[in-house]
Every structure is written in C-alpha cells, then in structure tokens.
Structure 1
Amino acid sequence: MTAHADPQRFQTLLRAHERIVFKVAALYAAHAEDRRDLAQEIGLQAWRSFARYDERRAKFSTWLYRVALNVAISQLRKSDGAQGGRLEPLEQHHLDGIGGEPVPEPDERLAALYAFIGRLDALNRALILLYLEDKSHAEIAEILGISTTNVATKIGRIKQTLRGQMAGAAATGD
C-alpha cells in the first residue's frame, strides 16, 4: 500500500527512525551546524517523498536510509564542487552532540576507523555505515541500488584496505 501524505503517520515513523537521519548526517557533515542543516533537509525530502513510499516494497527504515543517503550524497557533491572536491576526513569530534547526547571518547583504533571512513567516497561511506549497522548484504543492496555481489565485493575491498592502513599505522606508531 502506498503511503498517503499523512503528517501524523509520517512524524511517528520519522521519530521512531530518527537515528538513521542523525547517523547519515553525522557521516556526511563535519560540523554541528551542517549536521543540523543536513538532518533538516533529509526530513524535508523524506516528507516530500512520503506520498510515494510503498510499504509493500520496502520497510520504512530501508526507504528512509535511501532518502537520507541520496540527500547526503547530493549535498556532498554540491559542497565538493564549491570546495574543489576536497573532503574533510570524519573525526570523532564531528560526531559530538548528535541527538543532544555526547559521544564517548574513542580509543585510538576507533578514531583511526572514523578517519578512514571519512576518507571513503560517498558510496563506500554509505555502504560501510550500513554494514556497521548490521544490515545484511541484501538490505544494503536494496538501499543503495546495487547488486548483493557488488556489496560483498566492496565490503571485502574496504576491509582489506582498512586492515592495511591499520597495520601500517601500527608499524609506524601512529
């Protein structure tokens, strides 16, 4: 059944899944103000698209991830064009204050993981976010619109690269 533009139903669903919006905003926007702006834009675009949401085709969380990632990637591309394509690596301090709750201090390995994720391109960043959320390869494929085989291949490559970077950092003492 296709969703009707029912504001109360939309707000209930969005509130129940707001962590998705905050996580995507945190992963694609480095500064608190940019995260708030991105979260608002995601909410706005989700509302505009809600009338086309079909609960027979996808769970709300899957649909919301797709909307949120599309908005975030579009915003990232716009800002990259304005900044000459420069991406700022995601650091732990970028995640502070999401949802009003402080994020605990990470250990060095977690900080290195955040930095690594921040250097990934937009698609791989989305992919690893979903992977770290314990989404299945099939769910990730559905959200990102790529094949399950492609998901498995990309995750394998990301893990291999990460292992290499972590081993290199350990060897140099970084």
Structure 2
Amino acid sequence: MEKEFVKQIQKHQGILHKICFVYSNSNADKEDLYQEIVLQLWKSYPSFRKEAKFSTWMYRVALNTAITLNKKAALFENHKVQLSNKYAVAEVLDYSEDIKILYKAISKLSKIEKAVILLWLEEKAYGEIAEIVGISEKNVSVKLVRSKKKLAKIIKKMG
C-alpha cells in the first residue's frame, strides 16, 4: 500500500505544488502546507475507494487541507508578522514571468476561486471541478467567468 501511495504522490506532485503555490505566502508556508497535505492524503488513503480517479481525490483532499489551514491561519493573522514579498513562492519557482504574474494574481483570489481556476487550468471538466470543490456545474461556470474577470483586473493593476 505504501509503495502505491508514494508512486501516486510522485506521479501527481505537480498538483500539490500548484495548490501550495497559490495558497502559501512564503517558501516556509509552502513546505509546511505540502507536508500537511501529504500527511492528510496518507491518513485518508485507506479510505480511498477508487470510485474517482486518484488525481480527483487528491485534489479534493489537498484543497480541503489548504483551505482549512488558511482558515486557521486567518484567525491569527492580526497577530503575525507579514513576510516580505521577496520570499514569495512565485519568485523562487522556475516559471516564466507571465506564469509568475498569473499565479501571483491567482493567489489574490478567494479560496474557492483559487480552487476553481487551478482545476480549470489543469483542463478538468466542469463536472470534475464541481465534484472536487463541492459545488454545482452551473456554479463552476459562474465562478469561472467571475474569477477570470477578477484576474484580468488584478493583472492589469500589477502591470
């Protein structure tokens, strides 16, 4: 079971990196989130019934973990020191400048908007996005339209 789990994590680690990228503000936060997601995936793995694709199940667990941790962090946000932008994950990863701008913009969206946009960028079908995020397909469509407009405004302000 452990070998299969490790194999699946390695195969789909790009999913985890993208989620950590947009739900984290620093390298330390990214690493912590990555470890927490892998831990939650491992704890949940015995209950994975293989009714959905592993990547779909992984997205659901990873996004729920990221959102939950962000909610907990928000409770303490007034008391913590904000890290300098020079430590932002976007600056460290080896992406083109356009991709860095896109991911920085995505990180400014709400938690649900981030999830929907990330899944859409992964070319997931609306039905699969709905299943992972826990909203209707129609709501996925509405959220995508609104999120794309928000992203355009955010990117325009950044430029």
Return the TM-score normalized by structure 2: 0.85
* 1:80 partner amino acid: A
Matched, 1:106 2:97: yes
Any stretches of 5+ residues in structure 2 without a counterpart? none
Matched, 1:66 2:60: yes
Q: 1:17 to 1:164 in 2, by over 3 A?
A: closer
Any stretches of 5+ residues in structure 1 without a counterpart? 1-5
Q: 1:20 pairs with 15, 18, 22, which one?
A: 15
Matched, 1:34 2:23: no
Matched, 1:155 2:149: no
Corresponding residue for 1:9?
4
Deviation (angstroms), 1:160: 2.5
Matched, 1:141 2:130: yes
Return the TM-score normalized by structure 1: 0.79
| 158-167 or 137-146: bigger deviation | 158-167
Q: Separation in 1 of the partners of 2:100 and 2:60? A: 27
Q: Percent identity?
A: 36
Q: Separation in 2 of the partners of 1:148 and 1:166? A: 26
Corresponding residue for 1:3?
none
| Runs ≥4 residues deviating over 4 A | 85-88, 90-93, 164-167
Per-residue CA deviations over 1:40-75 (Å, capped at 9, x if unaligned) read 1100100000011011x2100000000100110011
Q: 1:111 to 1:11 in 2, by over 3 A?
A: closer
Q: Separation in 2 of the partners of 1:21 and 1:114? A: 14
Maintained 8 Å contact 1:92/1:114: no
Alpha-carbon RMSD across the aligned residues, in angstroms, is 2.7
Q: Separation in 2 of the partners of 1:59 and 1:33? A: 30
Deviation (angstroms), 1:130: 0.8
Deviation (angstroms), 1:13: 1.1
Q: 1:166 to 1:35 in 2, by over 3 A?
A: closer
Q: Separation in 1 of the partners of 2:70 and 2:17? A: 16
Deviation (angstroms), 1:161: 2.9
Q: Separation in 2 of the partners of 1:157 and 1:131? A: 13
Per-residue CA deviations over 1:108-138 (Å, capped at 9, x if unaligned) read xx55533331221111111111111111111
